[in-house]
Amino acid sequence: MSRSSFCYLCGKPIKFDNEYINERTGKKIPLDAETNEPHNCPVRILQQEQQQLQQQPSQQQESQERRYHQCNKGCGREIYFDANSKTQSGKWIPIDKDTGQPHQCQ
């Protein structure tokens, strides 16, 4: 069973089908009405690219304001702490300066 509609961003015809559901959200995936493939809206893609460009300066500024510390658990590598990287209980997770990933002391 499918239903036809239009993309609210680009206006192209789309449809929804019970066969195509996002596993993570449980929402139906919009499909191009003509090809029956997932709809890749050019307007949405452009908006995402513009948003990424706007975020880059703030990310660069954030990295300039970071305070780096030496790991005191034995390896001495440089780490930092980020407000977006905390455990469920609220403890800070050390981030490796070189990788940007949670620090694994070696």
* pTM summary value: 0.45
Name the residue with tokens 């050019």.
Answer: 42
Q: How many residues does the chain have?
A: 106
66 against 1, higher pLDDT: 66
- The CA-CA-CA angle for residues 81, 48, 28, to 5°, reads 105
> Residue 82: phi, psi to the nearest 5?
-125, 135
Would you state the pLDDT for residue 1? 44
Listed residue (35, 2, 27, 7) closest to 17, CA to CA: 2
Q: What is the pLDDT of residues 13-69, one digit of tens each?
A: 999 999 999 988 999 999 999 999 999 999 998 988 888 877 666 555 555 678 889
Would you state the pLDDT for residue 105? 82
Give the Cα separation of 26 and 44 in Å (integer): 20
Give the Cα separation of 42 and 21 in Å (integer): 21
- The domains of the chain are located at 1-65, 67-106
